[in-house]
Amino acid sequence: MSTLAPLRLLREPWNASEGNQSNATVGASGGWCQGLDIPNELFLALGLVSLVENLLVVAAILKNRNLHSPTYYFICCLAVSDMLVSISNLAEMLFMLLLEHGVLVMRPSIVRHMDRVIDTLICSSVVSSLSFLGVIAVDRYITIFYALRYHSIMTLQRAVVTMASIWLASTVSSTVLITYYRSNTILLCLIGFFLFMLVLMLVLYIHMFALARHHLHSISSQQKPPTTHRGGSLKGAVTLTILLGVFFICWGPFFFHLILIVTCPTNPFCTCFFSYFNLFLILIICNSVIAPLIYAFRSQELRRTLREVVTCSW
pLDDT tens per residue, range 62-96: 888 888 889 889 989 988 988 887 887 777 777 77
Structurally, how many domains does the chain consist of? 1
280 or 9, which is more confident: 280
Please report whether residue 13 resides in a domain: no
**In the predicted model, what is the mean pLDDT of the chain?**
77
With a CB cutoff of 8 Å and minimum separation 6, the contacts of 284 are 4, 7, 85, 126, 250, 251, 254
- How many helices (H) does the chain have, and how many strands (E)? 12, 0
pLDDT of amino acid 77: 92
13 or 203, which is more confident: 203
Q: Residues 130-176: pLDDT tens digits?
A: 898 888 888 888 887 887 888 899 999 999 999 999 999 999 988 88
pLDDT of amino acid 163: 95
The residue-averaged pLDDT of 11-27 equals 51
Report the distance separating Cα 71 and Cα 267, nearest Å. Answer: 45
Within 13 Å and on the Cβ side, how many CA atoms surround 308?
14
Please report whether residue 4 resides in a domain: no
Please report whether residue 22 resides in a domain: no
Query: Three-state DSSP class for 226?
Result: coil
CATH number at residue 263: 1.20.1070.10
Q: Which structural domain range is residue 165 located in?
A: 38-219+232-311
Report the distance separating Cα 243 and Cα 231, nearest Å. Answer: 18
Question: Is residue 166 a contact partner of residue 131, using CB atoms and an 8 Å limit?
Answer: yes
pLDDT of amino acid 45: 84
Alpha helix (H) residue ranges in 101-226: 108-145, 150-153, 156-179, 184-221
Report the distance separating Cα 145 and Cα 159, nearest Å. Answer: 18
Q: Residues 298-312: pLDDT tens digits?
A: 777 888 888 888 787
Please report whether residue 9 resides in a domain: no
Question: Is residue 131 a contact partner of residue 169, using CB atoms and an 8 Å limit?
Answer: yes
Report the distance separating Cα 48 and Cα 90, nearest Å. Answer: 8
Report the distance separating Cα 71 and Cα 154, nearest Å. Answer: 9
Report the distance separating Cα 191 and Cα 82, nearest Å. Answer: 20
Please report whether residue 123 resides in a domain: yes
Q: Which of 152-156, 159-163, 234-238, 239-243 has the lowest mean pLDDT?
A: 234-238
For 199, counting Cβ atoms within 10 Å of its Cβ (0-12 exposed, 13-18 middle, 19+ buried), the class is exposed
pTM for the predicted model, two decimal places? 0.80
Radius of gyration of the chain (CA): 22
Question: Is residue 78 a contact partner of residue 127, using CB atoms and an 8 Å limit?
Answer: no
Please report whether residue 17 resides in a domain: no
Please report whether residue 226 resides in a domain: no
Please report whether residue 10 resides in a domain: no
How far is CA 122 from its chain centroid?
11
Answer yes or no: is pLDDT of 107 > 80. no
The residue-averaged pLDDT of 264-292 equals 83
Q: Which of 12-21, 56-65, 252-261 has the lowest mean pLDDT?
A: 12-21
How far is CA 30 from its chain centroid?
32
